[in-house]
Chains A and B, each alone.
Chain A
């Protein structure tokens, strides 16, 4: 894109809406800070991924349709979540294959971006770090990397912050064990994976674990809290906003 967009839609996602609203607000602020007008349509609920992944495609489609309808204009749709962005960008075309509104949904999917992807690949933002020195670690969620195809955009943004040291996890690409319904359908195996991820994060010596996915954050945070670990988790949008805006 030569001309940078001046106006975008923001899709909050259900987990951000209910559990990480600060991250949602921060994402909107980051976009505004980059000179983009943000439209937040009323009536957002969920992208439909849980039902899709469990094989309940009619239900997933019903929900997805109502969401697509909220974004009629030819504007980018920005999500503070790799997993939901992957659902809308990669799996909606699959879900609507052969449906009468397939073309319309595909056109929508083509406009979908995960927040850090949009900040780096489209807006090419340059962040200025205003925070104190801190050591962080990064959890790349499986869906953000393997479904959506993030190519290190979040790490690139963290790398722009002069006072932030990024200590990598030892198993950076291993699943944290969330997996949506997997976490309650297979609690034992999911629990072990989550504990391993939490231990990996603690071993980095970082004070905060960052991710672009609410599901992973909820999972690792719950696990760390259960261990009474001092390590915190934070959505990357919130972290970037905190570090870069003048108070």
Chain B
């Protein structure tokens, strides 16, 4: 049944729970972000209006995604941006390598890009002798330690100041130990400035891609995005194919809700509109701009009317900030590029629902995520759908790995469950036994054992409600 070995979320989540420092770091950080977001939306009606608008824009974009992508490519080309298409991460990596080799580029400075994480671009380039340096402060911090982001907006949120201070003093040349945040930032800035000036190429992600104008929009707070895309002679942008919107005016509401949802900012410090390489009469900017558009399973999601909503995501991170599971275990426990609730629906669709079956079940379906999602992605509904896909190969979908999470034991369990519950006479017998002998079930019985790790055993009442109503006799129609 199982195609590949299942990655057990339960194991990594349990391990993360044993780290009280990590839990405290995340709880504090997430509480702060929740408060900041709340302060940005004092009027729930205004928030709902903006959500409605944002959801409509993203839905409309996806509805005509193929046409928009064609229009976008045509307009980018007109603007002098060279567009490349990659179906897989491997192809995207090779494309970027090819672009760099054609220019003889040996060093790359990177603005923040989750798609490049998805591609494992840094490791790939390093294996080809190219240095890729992260210039977003959070990304830079975790790169020093060889780690991956634990959050899609704040990649180093799992670390506290002391940890970073220690790390800088050990890993940055000529650095002295300090816990002063400004000094630490200045240290990183000094290293990065040097790199910006001399890098052969710069890489960035894309927040919004505008079809009607062929523009790449980039949202950032540190200015490193502008440096990475502006200073080196070669700029390479990477984006998932879902990022496109029809018009420039679509961007304003999405931008407004993105920054407010993500960091509780009304606007970010920088908003870049990139519309091509340096013009003949211009004194700065890259000589060449390339754009790599990645599929990596996205067109499969696009083809399914329900799962398509996954692609509405604008990567704000609000779902993880509000998730009771993410808050307690942090991003690394997901063992995936995209953590938290959005990761719970994205990762299984990209990697296979069988391999990620346990992750799909790593949710209480509480709905805190969809309640705050700026584009109203129904994450719990999609999780339930993916649970169904994981255990049934005949749903008539194109979901990767469908049916490979199926086990005979679970099949039988549900069959027996339904067999009893659709037959009132059987249920009556079962509940009679439960109420008479339920107490006698050992706390160590399978499943009950899991329950009683932190709880006392649930004990059924001595007489069920049905039994008592039968005894009352008078209330049946």
Q: Is B127 engaged at the interface, CB distance under 8 Å to the other chain? A: no
* CB < 8 Å neighbour of B422 from A12, A21, A45: A45
Q: Is A184 engaged at the interface, CB distance under 8 Å to the other chain? A: yes
Q: Is B461 engaged at the interface, CB distance under 8 Å to the other chain? A: yes
Q: In the bound complex, what is the Cα–Cα distance between A219 and B461 (angstroms)?
A: 16
Q: In the bound complex, what is the Cα–Cα distance between A223 and B366 (angstroms)?
A: 19
Contact partners of A146 in chain B: CB under 8 A: 366-368, 370-371
Q: Is B280 engaged at the interface, CB distance under 8 Å to the other chain? A: no
B324 near A56: Cβ-Cβ < 8 Å: no
B461 near A55: Cβ-Cβ < 8 Å: no
Contact partners of B2 in chain A: CB under 8 A: none
Q: Which residue of A lies closest to B461 (CB)?
A: A21
Contact partners of B468 in chain A: CB under 8 A: 21, 25
A182 near B365: Cβ-Cβ < 8 Å: yes
Q: Is A62 engaged at the interface, CB distance under 8 Å to the other chain? A: yes
Q: Which residue of B lies closest to A60 (CB)?
A: B418
Q: Is B427 engaged at the interface, CB distance under 8 Å to the other chain? A: yes
Q: In the bound complex, what is the Cα–Cα distance between A59 and B468 (angstroms)?
A: 28
Q: Is A46 engaged at the interface, CB distance under 8 Å to the other chain? A: yes
Contact partners of A20 in chain B: CB under 8 A: 461, 465
Shortest CB distance A55–B (Å): 3
Interface residues of B in 374-403 (CB under 8 A from A): 381, 384-392
Contact partners of A62 in chain B: CB under 8 A: 418, 422
A51 near B364: Cβ-Cβ < 8 Å: no
* CB < 8 Å neighbour of A194 from B366, B384, B454: B454
Are A142 and B414 CB-contacts (below 8 A) given A42-B476, A183-B451?
no
* CB < 8 Å neighbour of A222 from B14, B368, B421, B458: B458
Q: Is B453 engaged at the interface, CB distance under 8 Å to the other chain? A: yes
Contact partners of B460 in chain A: CB under 8 A: 18-19
B458 near A19: Cβ-Cβ < 8 Å: yes
Shortest CB distance A22–B (Å): 7
Q: In the bound complex, what is the Cα–Cα distance between A173 and B366 (angstroms)?
A: 9
A57 near B388: Cβ-Cβ < 8 Å: yes
- Which has the most chain B C-beta neighbours within 10 Å: A40, A55, A182, A223? A55
A192 near B458: Cβ-Cβ < 8 Å: no
Q: Is A165 engaged at the interface, CB distance under 8 Å to the other chain? A: no
B470 near A42: Cβ-Cβ < 8 Å: yes
Contact partners of A54 in chain B: CB under 8 A: 361, 387, 391, 410, 414
Q: Is the interface of A mostly helix, strand, loop or mixed?
A: helix
B422 near A190: Cβ-Cβ < 8 Å: no
- Which has the most chain B C-beta neighbours within 10 Å: A53, A143, A178? A53
Contact mask for chain A residues 163-196; partner B; CB cutoff 8 A; 1 contact, 0 none = 0000000000111011111111111111111110
A189 near B421: Cβ-Cβ < 8 Å: no
Q: Is the interface of B mostly helix, strand, loop or mixed?
A: helix
A53 near B450: Cβ-Cβ < 8 Å: no
Contact mask for chain A residues 217-229; partner B; CB cutoff 8 A; 1 contact, 0 none = 0110011011000
B10 near A186: Cβ-Cβ < 8 Å: yes
Q: Is B160 engaged at the interface, CB distance under 8 Å to the other chain? A: no
A63 near B418: Cβ-Cβ < 8 Å: yes
A59 near B414: Cβ-Cβ < 8 Å: yes
- Which has the most chain B C-beta neighbours within 10 Å: A66, A73, A186, A223? A186
Q: Is A131 engaged at the interface, CB distance under 8 Å to the other chain? A: no
Q: In the bound complex, what is the Cα–Cα distance between A41 and B476 (angstroms)?
A: 6
- Which has the most chain B C-beta neighbours within 10 Å: A17, A52, A190? A17
Q: Which residue of A lies closest to B367 (CB)?
A: A146
Q: Which residue of B lies closest to A188 (CB)?
A: B14
Contact partners of A21 in chain B: CB under 8 A: 461, 463-465, 467-468
Q: Is B466 engaged at the interface, CB distance under 8 Å to the other chain? A: yes
Q: Is B21 engaged at the interface, CB distance under 8 Å to the other chain? A: no
Are A55 and B363 CB-contacts (below 8 A) given A39-B477, A45-B421?
no
B417 near A17: Cβ-Cβ < 8 Å: no
Q: Is B328 engaged at the interface, CB distance under 8 Å to the other chain? A: yes
Q: Is B362 engaged at the interface, CB distance under 8 Å to the other chain? A: yes
A55 near B390: Cβ-Cβ < 8 Å: yes
Q: Is B13 engaged at the interface, CB distance under 8 Å to the other chain? A: yes
Contact partners of B364 in chain A: CB under 8 A: 142, 175, 177-180, 182-183, 190, 193
A38 near B475: Cβ-Cβ < 8 Å: yes
* Residues of chain A at the chain B interface (Cβ within 8 Å): 10, 12, 14, 16-22, 24-25, 28, 38-46, 48, 50-60, 62-63, 65-66, 73, 94, 142-143, 146-147, 173-175, 177-195, 218-219, 222-223, 225-226
Extra contacts besides A19-B461, A66-B423, A189-B13 (17): CB < 8 Å: A16-B465, A17-B464, A18-B434, A21-B463, A21-B467, A24-B465, A25-B468, A45-B424, A53-B365, A142-B366, A146-B368, A174-B324, A174-B368, A186-B361, A193-B325, A193-B364, A195-B454
Q: Which 6 A-B pairs have the closest CB atoms?
A: A179-B364, A222-B455, A55-B388, A55-B387, A191-B454, A175-B366
Query: What are 8 A-B pairs with beta-carbon distances under 8 A?
Result: A17-B431, A42-B424, A54-B410, A55-B387, A66-B424, A180-B365, A188-B17, A189-B10
